[in-house]
Amino acid sequence: MSDSGINGIGSNIDPLKSGTKGVNEDKGGGFDKVLNEALTKVSQVQKDVDAAVTELSTGGDITSAVLAIEKADMTFQLMVEVRNKLMRTYDEVMKLQI
């Protein structure tokens, strides 16, 4: 038997012990960063709707306004469903007995 398997495992753990970036940090951030980016995108969609409705009130295209409103509605529904899923997951974790 060789020690190559053990050395392979140890080499993966060393960067975590030395204080360098871990595997998750190299890929662009954690859960909080992803959540903040998603909320920023939802906010941008809402701003797009405000602009489309303002443009519509000054004689703009109704099709673009309706599409922007529907996009905002679907984005909001998705955000609510993600929140609901997170809350259910949190509730399940809190039910775990340690």
In a domain, 71, yes or no: yes
Range of the domain at 73: 29-95
Q: Which residue has the higher pLDDT, 28 or 13?
A: 28
pLDDT at 10 (0 to 100): 46
pTM for this model (two decimals): 0.60
The pLDDT tens digits for 16-73 are 444 555 544 556 678 889 889 988 999 999 999 999 999 999 988 899 899 999 999 9
Residues 9 and 97: their CA atoms lie apart, in Å, by: 31
In a domain, 17, yes or no: no
Residues 83 and 38: their CA atoms lie apart, in Å, by: 12
In a domain, 35, yes or no: yes
In a domain, 11, yes or no: no
Instruction: Please count the structural domains in the chain.
Output: 1
Residues 51 and 47: their CA atoms lie apart, in Å, by: 6
The pLDDT tens digits for 65-93 are 999 999 999 999 999 999 999 999 999 99
Q: C-alpha 72: how far from its chain's center? A: 17
pLDDT at 21 (0 to 100): 52
pLDDT at 68 (0 to 100): 92
Residues 96 and 47: their CA atoms lie apart, in Å, by: 41
